Amino acid sequence: MPTLEKPKTKNDTDTSMKKDTLKGTKNDIFFSTEERPGTLIIVEGSDGSGKSTQLLIAKNLLESNGFFCVHSIWNSSLKMHEMQKKFKKFDTNMPAAVFDTIYASDFIERYLTEMRGALKAGMVVLCDRYMYTALARGYARGIRMEHLKPFYDLYFPVPDLAFYFRIAVETAAERAIGRNPLKHYEAGMDVRYSENIIESFKRFQTKVIEGYDILAEQNGMHVIDGTAPVYKTTPIFIAEIAEYFERKYNVRLMGVHPTKE
């Protein structure tokens, strides 16, 4: 006797659709280096290291050569901004894991809305700080990198080019203090390095720089002296980008001057 199939209900159909959707989610949203036609360039470093200025120079150069660029800045998601403000106002001594979760939420939102589509469309994505900022700051707040890194490695693509603009902590302190009044979390006051905000900033940044140094070595970043004048570092920075684009796209960028050995 033939077996009668149980008629599918609406709930069964919905469940089946959800399973199919979830099954393809990882491959649809996140992808490996080999699967993307675009280029991901990131800059890392302490505030005042000159990385943002250099990235804008690269953006102008690439756009003048006909490349479409997307410029994404750390912690700039409008959707996450209000949530972050509420969290920071509610608790001036947030646990380090909660603080990192806030960074991650901003990063995920920007990745899905700004970076992912651009990389799939063959554009150049220029990131003013990337996952390594979260790792270095988490490290300075006492979170072990090996606990954080698997999450970021699993869900975010490895950059095609990564630059670390390194400056000494004293230089970082001078530039930060001269620019704007130091903020509570910026100075690491939540982890109580010191009751003095300037001293806390120096100790916190010392650990952040230590974290960056570790990550730069582990991930093969191009290390650039952030204390050197822009006119000296820009040719080095641009030359690395030009060399990569010549290899990947077989084009020579116009407006690039050869660096002196």
Under the banding of pLDDT at 50, 70 and 90, the label for residue 185 is confident
Residues 6+ apart with CB under 8 A from 19: none
Q: Which tops the pLDDT comparison, 224 or 98?
A: 224
pLDDT at 8 exceeding the cut of 60: no
Give me Rg for the CA atoms of the chain.
22
Amino acid letter for position 146: E
pLDDT at 135 exceeding the cut of 60: yes
Helix (H) or strand (E) segment spanning residue 200: helix 197-218
> Residues 120-135, buried b or exposed e (16+ Cβ, 10 A)?
eeebbbbbbbbbbbbb
pLDDT at 142 exceeding the cut of 60: yes
Q: Are strands 69-73 and 39-45 parallel, antiparallel or unpaired?
A: unpaired
pLDDT at 51 exceeding the cut of 50: yes
Give the domains, in start order, of the chain with CATH numbers.
Answer: 35-249 (3.40.50.300)
Tokens 């943002």: give the residue: 52
Q: What is the mean pLDDT of the chain?
A: 84
Tokens 């006051």: give the residue: 189
